[in-house]
Amino acid sequence: MKSETGTTSRRTALKYLGIGGGAVAASPLLAACDSVQESQDSGGGSGVFPETPDWRFVFVNHVTTNSFFVPTRTGLADAAKLVGVPEPQWTGSENGNVAQMASAMETAVNSKAAGIAVALTDNNAFVDLTKRALDAGIPVLAYNANAADNYPLTYVGQDLYLSGVKMGQKIAEKVTSGTILVGISQPGGNNVQPRLDGIIDALKQAAPGVRVQSVNTGAEQAAELSAMEAAHTGQQDAKGIYAVDAGSTAACAKLIGDRGLSGKVGGGGFDLLDDTIAGVQSGALDFTIDQSPYLQGFLTVLYLYLYRLSGTLVAPPVTDTGLTFVTKENVGPYASAHSKFEGGDNDKLVEMPSSIPLPPPSVLSR
Amino acid sequence: MPGGRTLLLGLMRVKELSILLVTIAAAIYFSTSSDAFNSVANYQTIAQYVAPWSIIAAGEVMLLICGEIDLSAGFVFALAPFLLMQFYVNGWPLALALLGAIVASMLIGVINGLIRTVLGVPSFITTLGMAFLLYGLVLIISGGRPVAAPKDAAVMQVFGGAKWTELLWAIGVIIVLQVILSGTRFGIHTQATGGNRVGAAESGIAINRIKVINFAVLGTLAGLAGILQGTRVGSYDPTNGGFDTMFFGVASAVIGGTALLGGTGTVVGAFLGALLLGIAFDGFNVLGVSANAFNVVLGAAILIAMILNVSLLVLRKRMGSRELA
C-alpha cells in the first residue's frame, strides 16, 4: 500500500513539472524523486541517500497568511515529507512588512537554520542577511519574488517581466487596435509592475496600435471590481479588459460576465481565484496564467535538501515556475478537481484529460 | 529576618517589579527551550523588535497618562524616512534632511494636538483620520516602492546604521522621558492632566498646552523610530510601521502598567513591556513556530504573562497593606 501511494505522488509531482514547464528543473528532480521513492519502498529510513540530521528549513514570506500561498505551503510540506526532513518553518510578515521579514530571516540565521528560502520583495533589506547566511554556511534561495544585486543561490518562481511579455503577445493575437484596460492592484509594486511593463513592451512590438490604459484597483477585492467597473464605464469602447494581479483578474471576469461582454472584448490575467477560473470556463476570459505556487514550495525544499546532501555539488538551477496559460481547453481540472496543488483540499489523484492541448511552440535562446 | 523582609517590601513597592519578573520568566523559558536563544546575534534580533516598539511606547505612555491616544504614530513612522529622502534628493545635506524629517514629524504631532484641543475632536478620531491621510502621503511620495536607505553615510551610522544604535536610542529615550515624567514639573502636570482634568485646570495647569506638547513628543519619537528602523534594515519601505507598529507600542505601554484611561503609568514599564513582546516574538521564531500557529502561541503567551502580572500586582498590594496595618 505504502509503495503505491508513494508512486502516485511521484507521478503527480512529475506531471506538474511537465505542466509548469520547468524543463531545466526536470532532469535533476526526476533522479531525485526516483531515488527517494525507491528508498521509501525499500522501507529503510534514508535508502540510497545517507542519513541526514533533522534539517530545519525556513521560508520567509511577505504575506504569510495569504490564500495564494496555501499551495506553496502544501508543496513545501510534501517535499519535506518526501525526503524525510521536518516540515519547514513558514514565517515572515502578514502584511508585507519588510523590517519584520528581515528580523525573521535574521532569527533563522542566528538559530543556524539548515537552509533559508526568502521572497525578495525588497532590493536592499535582504542583501546583508543573505551574505551573512552564506558566510555561516546556510544556503539561501529566493522564491516567488526576486531582486537585483542580491546573492541567493537561485530563484524559484515566476519571471515577472517575462510573464508580462508573454501575456502581451497573447493579447496581440486577439486585439490589434484601440484601447485596452489593464487593472493593477499596486502600481509600482515589486511583484506586479514588471508584468505591466512586460505587457506594454510586448504590445509595442506585436501590436503597436493598441493603447494601454492602466487602472489602479487597490488591494481590496470588492474595491477592485468597483475600480474596473468605473474604468470601463469611462471607456466603453475598450477592446480588452485585462489585469496583472489575482484580485483584479477576478474583477475582470466578473465585469465581463455582468455586462454581457463575453466574446466581444478580450480578457485575461493572472492566478486562479474561483471567479477567474469560472470566467475562463464561461468564456469571459480568454486565459489566465498559472504560476504554480505549489512548485515554489516543493522545488525549493528539494533544491535546499539536495544542495546540503551533496555538499553543494547539486547546485540549484534557476526555475521559472510560471508560464502556463490556462484557457478553455485545459481549464477542466482547475475547475473540478479542488486539488491541493491549487489550494484545494483534495489530495487524491487528479484524472488526466483525454488529450493535452498544444503548449506554445518551443523557442531556442539563440 | 526583619532585614530581608524590609528589602522584600521595598522591592514590592517598585511598580515595574511584576512585569520585570514576568519578562525574566519568559527569557528563562526560551533559554531552556533552545540553545540558539542565548547568543549575541539573537540578542541583537530581539533588540530590533524592542527598539521601535519601546520608542513609540514611551511617547504613547506620556499621551495615555494625560488621557489621550495617538493612532497615527505608525504612519509618522512610515512617512519620516520618505520625507528624509524627499529633502535629500532635493539637494539638502543629509544631516539637514534628517533634521527636517524629524521636525516635520513633530509638526504632525502638533497638528494632532491642536485639532484635539482647539477644535475639540476626540483624539481617537483625530489620529485615525491622520493615520489614513499620512498613509496616503507615504504611498504618493514613495510611489508604492521602497527606496534604499543612505546607510553608509556617516551621519546615518549614528541613526540606526551601526549595530545597536537603534537600541541605544531607545534606551536614551526611555531614560530621558522617565526622568521628565517623574522628576519635572511638566511630568507632574502631565499626570495631573490625565488623573483629574478639571482639578488640574482649576489649579492653573495649562492642560491643552501639556497635551499638545505630548502629541508633539510622540510625533518626534515616531519619526525618529521610523528612520532608525529603515536605516538599520537598509531600505525605506512604505509597508513599514503602520497600525501594527503603533499597536505594539500601545500594547507595550499597557503591558508595562500604563492605564488606558489615563492618570498613571511608567516609561520604564513600557520598555519592559516591549522587551517582553520582543522576547516572545523572537523566541517563538527561534523555536520554529510557523505563521498560522504563531498568533495563537503569541496571544496565549501574552494572556498568560498578563494574568501572572496582575496576580503579582494584587499580591504586592496585599503585602503592602498588611505592612501598614
Quick: pLDDT tens for B11-31. Answer: 666 778 888 988 999 999 999
Mean pLDDT, range A206-210, rounded to an integer: 94
Distance from CA of A87 to the nearest CA of B (A): 10
Chain A residues whose beta carbon lies within 8 Å of the beta carbon of residue B44: 106
Least confident of A357-361, B42-46, B143-147, B321-325: B321-325
Chain A residues whose beta carbon lies within 8 Å of the beta carbon of residue B42: 107, 110-111
How would residue A261 be classed by pLDDT, with cut points 50, 70 and 90? very high
Tell me whether residues B240 and A122 touch, CB distance under 8 A.
no
The answer on pLDDT for B194 being more than 80 is yes
A309 versus A9: the higher-pLDDT residue is A309
Tell me whether residues A99 and B229 touch, CB distance under 8 A.
yes
The answer on pLDDT for A6 being more than 90 is no
Distance from CA of A88 to the nearest CA of B (A): 8
Of the partner residues A61, A89, A189, the one whose CB lies closest to the CB of residue B288: A89
Best B30, B44, B77, B145 member to test A by mutation, with max A CBs in 10 Å, is: B145
Mean pLDDT, range A15-23, rounded to an integer: 41
Chain A residue whose CA is closest to B294? A91
Place of cell 528602523: B229
The predicted structure's pLDDT at residue B325 = 59
The predicted structure's pLDDT at residue B323 = 63
Tell me whether residues B244 and A125 touch, CB distance under 8 A.
no
The predicted structure's pLDDT at residue B95 = 94
Contact A239, A179 (CB under 8 A): yes
The predicted structure's pLDDT at residue B142 = 85
Best B44, B135, B235 member to test A by mutation, with max A CBs in 10 Å, is: B235
Of the partner residues A56, A99, A125, the one whose CB lies closest to the CB of residue B288: A56
The predicted structure's pLDDT at residue B3 = 63
- Exposure class string for B101-139: b at 16+ Cβ within 10 A, else e: bbebbbebbebbbbbbbeeeeebeebbbebbeebbebbb
Place of cell 495569504: A66
Distance from CA of B97 to the nearest CA of A (A): 21
Chain A residue whose CA is closest to B237? A98
Give CA–CA dist B291/B45, Å, rounded: 18
Chain A residues whose beta carbon lies within 8 Å of the beta carbon of residue B239: 93, 95-98
Of the partner residues B39, B235, B289, the one whose CB lies closest to the CB of residue A110: B39
The answer on pLDDT for B257 being more than 80 is yes
Place of cell 523555536: B287
Distance from CA of A107 to the nearest CA of B (A): 6
Tell me whether residues A110 and B34 touch, CB distance under 8 A.
no
Q: Got the DSSP string for B13-27?
A: H-TTHHHHHHHHHHH
CB atoms within 10 A of CB B292: 11
- Exposure class string for A267-295: b at 16+ Cβ within 10 A, else e: bbbbbbbebbbbbbbeebbbbbbbbbbbb
In tens, the pLDDT along A30-63 reads: 444 444 434 444 333 456 888 899 999 999 998 8
B91 versus A2: the higher-pLDDT residue is B91
Of the partner residues B34, B239, B290, the one whose CB lies closest to the CB of residue A95: B239
The predicted structure's pLDDT at residue A31 = 42
Mean pLDDT, range A324-342, rounded to an integer: 87
The predicted structure's pLDDT at residue A338 = 82
Nearest alpha-carbon partner for B105 in B124, B132, B91, B84: B84
* B40-65 helix and B165-183 helix, angle to the nearest 10 degrees: 30
How would residue B2 be classed by pLDDT, with cut points 50, 70 and 90? low
The predicted structure's pLDDT at residue B12 = 62
B199 versus B317: the higher-pLDDT residue is B199
Chain A residue whose CA is closest to B36? A111
In tens, the pLDDT along A75-113 reads: 999 999 999 999 999 999 987 888 999 999 999 999 999
How would residue B301 be classed by pLDDT, with cut points 50, 70 and 90? confident
How would residue A18 be classed by pLDDT, with cut points 50, 70 and 90? very low
Size of interface A-B (CB pairs under 8 A): 104
Question: Under an 8 Å CB criterion, which residues of A touch B?
Answer: 56, 58, 61, 64-65, 87, 89-99, 102-104, 106-112, 122-125, 127-128, 186-190
In tens, the pLDDT along A184-199 reads: 887 766 778 889 999 9
Contact B113, B212 (CB under 8 A): yes
In tens, the pLDDT along A352-364 reads: 888 888 887 888 8
Instruction: Report CA A254 to chain centroid distance, whole Å.
Output: 23
Chain A residue whose CA is closest to B290? A90
Domain B17-324 grouped into CATH 1.10.3470: yes
Contact A307, A153 (CB under 8 A): yes
Of the partner residues B145, B234, B285, the one whose CB lies closest to the CB of residue A91: B285
